[in-house]
Structure formats: C-alpha cells, structure tokens
Structure 1
Amino acid sequence: MREYMLPAHKRLIEAVECGPSIREYVKKSNNMKASSAYDACLRRLAEYRSYHLRIVVRFLAMPSSKTTNSKPIQGTGGTHAVKYLKSTRTATKESILNTDD
C-alpha cells in the first residue's frame, strides 16, 4: 500500500515505526493522565475505523454484491477490504489500556 502513498506520508509512517512505542511508554509511566489521553485517542480512532468500515460497506460492498461480480471488494493493496478494515478496528480496540470504562 505504501507504494501508492505520497513520499512525505510514507516517510512519516517510517519515522513513527522507527521510534519508541507510545503504548509501552504510557504503560510503564503509570501516569493516569497520559493513560487516559492515550485511551481517548484510541477510542476516537476506533470510532473513525468503524465509520470508515460503514462507508466501504454502504458504498462499495453492498452495490458490488448486487452485480454479477462475486469477488470481495479489494483495498488499494489488494487485500479483502472489509476483513482488513475489521481487523484494524479490532487491533485498535485491543490496544486500549483501560477497558473498564
């Protein structure tokens, strides 16, 4: 998928990957304020991923299922789009530190 990205976006992702884990930093810090902020960001990201999934299903998967094309909708990188989006949303939710809320 990165081969389709703008060079600056690709470099940003690569720089973030090379950096330290924010999750591990927040976890080790035992700082409730940092933990709450981290979890709030992940919850918002999970909401965005759910919204993105609904848009793909509504405007791509559902119309495609009404045609003779029985292939699953593919994402930019050739992945099964709906499965991929569901898995990224699940991974995002699983990264939340305090799930008691």
Structure 2
Amino acid sequence: MRDYMPPSHRHFIENISSRLSLRSFVLQQADERLTHTFEQCVARLVEFRNLHINIVTRYITIPASCAKQLRAKKQDLTEELDKIGKAPTLLEERGTGGSGIMTFLKTVRDKTKGTFISQCTTGNQVLPDPSMTKIQKAASELKIE
C-alpha cells in the first residue's frame, strides 16, 4: 500500500511514526493543565466513538437485520421483498473493509478509552480533575439497545 502513496504523504506518516505519541508527550510533561486537557480530548473522542456505534446500529445494523428477517419469512410481501432484495446484504455483518463492523467499532472505542492517562498514573504524577472520571464512567456504561 505504501508504494501507491504519494511520497509527501509517506514522508509525513514516517515522520509522525518516528516521534513520541501525544499521550507519551503529555505524560512526559507532567503538567496538570495539559493532562486535564488531554483527558478532556480523549473523553470527547470516546463520546464520538459511542455516537458512531449508535448511528451504525440505528441506520445499518438494525435495518439490515430487519431486512434479513423479512427475506427469511418470504411472505406475500412482493413489493417489500423487491425493496429488501436490493438491500446490501454484506453490510449486515461486515463493514466496508470486510471486518466485523460492530467488533471493529467497539475495538476502536475501547482502544481510545485505553489512552486515558488517569488509568495508569500513580504516585507523584498529576491526575485529571474528578469530573473526567465521571465522564469516563458514563461513557463506559453506555449501552446500545
């Protein structure tokens, strides 16, 4: 894949990859305000990931599941069956990249949660303010129905 990438893009990615991660940089600084800001950014990303999962569930997974059930019943719903037959059956379980769509999205969300600094800091390092812990807890308890 890298062979097809424009050289300037490849150079940019290689340059970023050779440096500290943003999380490592924030940990190195041991600055309370920077840590708090980083934690807020991660919390917002987790919220976005949860929203993305909800949208995919509502607009892809649930409609695809309903279409699959109706196809299985094969009742006298000729007009509806014509519409259903045209539905993209591959998206019922797989994302556009071929991965299990919900497994992939939840894995990405969980990896994002894993970047919270407060989950690994101890001793003399500064922890973010307690309100961030509440946001993290609420995000982790979010359920899709």
Which TM-score tier does this pair reach, normalised by the shorter chain?
0.7 to 0.9
Task: Give the paired residue count.
Answer: 96
Unaligned runs of 5+ in 2: 69-88, 120-129, 134-145
Structure 1 equivalent of residue 95 of structure 2: 75
Q: RMSD of the TM alignment (CA)? A: 2.8
- Separation in 2, partners of 1:76, 1:53: 15
**Displacement of 1:19:** 3.2
Name 1:43's counterpart in structure 2. Answer: 43
From the CA coordinates, give the structure whose radius of gyration is larger: 2
Q: Spell out structure 1 runs of 4+ moving beyond 3 A.
A: 10-13, 15-19, 69-72
Distance, in Å, in 1 between the alignment partners of 2:60 and 2:20 is 37
Task: Return closer, same or farther for 1:18/1:76 CA change in 2, 3 Å cut-off.
Answer: farther
Matches within 5 A, 1:10-49: 14=13, 16-49=16-49
CA distance in structure 2 between the aligned counterparts of 1:56 and 1:70, rounded to whole angstroms: 14
CA deviations 1:24-79 (Å, max 9, x no partner) are 11112111111111111000000000000000000000011112359743222111
Gaps of 5+ in 1: none
